[in-house]
Amino acid sequence: MSESEMLDILNEEMVVIGTDSRVNAHARGLWHQTFHCWIVRQSTHGETNLLFQLRHRDKDTYPGLLDISCAGHLQAGETVADGVRELREELGVIVSFTELTSCGIVAEENIISEQCIDREFNHIFILQCNKSLEDYHMQTSEISGLFYINMREFKELLKSEKNSIWGEGIVMDEMSQNVRSIKAEFHIDDFTPMSNNYAQVLFDNLERLL
């Protein structure tokens, strides 16, 4: 999304009070809305894997870190259901809003720097999808790779029960534009931050669904 993209600005009660650009929303710490969708896949061994995207190194926030399967800002005037466009744009996944399982809303404040205060109402969803990594169509301006990571092990990493975990993925070579397979070890600092409240909401809903 462009920094000049317009967003609905909300108060702390989630009432829309105006619009502003994305850059101003972050610079001034204004509340806005995001769409988060976690893609989950059941492996042939009965294990549950979460899809993570590798953020492009040129992203303004958390470059080069593993992040939610698909996420983006809701633009001014958009409804939450319009957020499914992010799945199409980032991953080439075309689904209807009714195919998603809602986890609810988590409000979060992240002070990334003095110039970037991110206050978001995150609308969180789950999509069950058994695509292989190669079947996704990455938006290469936003995403540099995709990884499947075991859900149980990721939860253990968040709880400091593991120091590192492994993931199988694909990464894009920017020079050749070719995709190569990779297996990599990840530590907690390789992921975008996740609050305890957000993790609780996510895993409660994943376990209830699966």
Report residue 2's pLDDT band, with 50, 70 and 90 as the boundaries.
low
Report residue 118's pLDDT band, with 50, 70 and 90 as the boundaries.
very high
Distances 176 to 40, 89, 142, 199 between C-alpha atoms, Å: 30, 22, 17, 37
The pLDDT tens digits of the residues spanning 200-210 come to 999 999 999 98
Cα separation, 153 vs 142, whole angstroms: 26
How much is the pTM?
0.94
Tokens in use for 185?
Answer: 């070890």
DSSP-H helix ranges across 142-195: 151-158
| Residue 39 near residue 132 (C-beta atoms within 8 A) | no
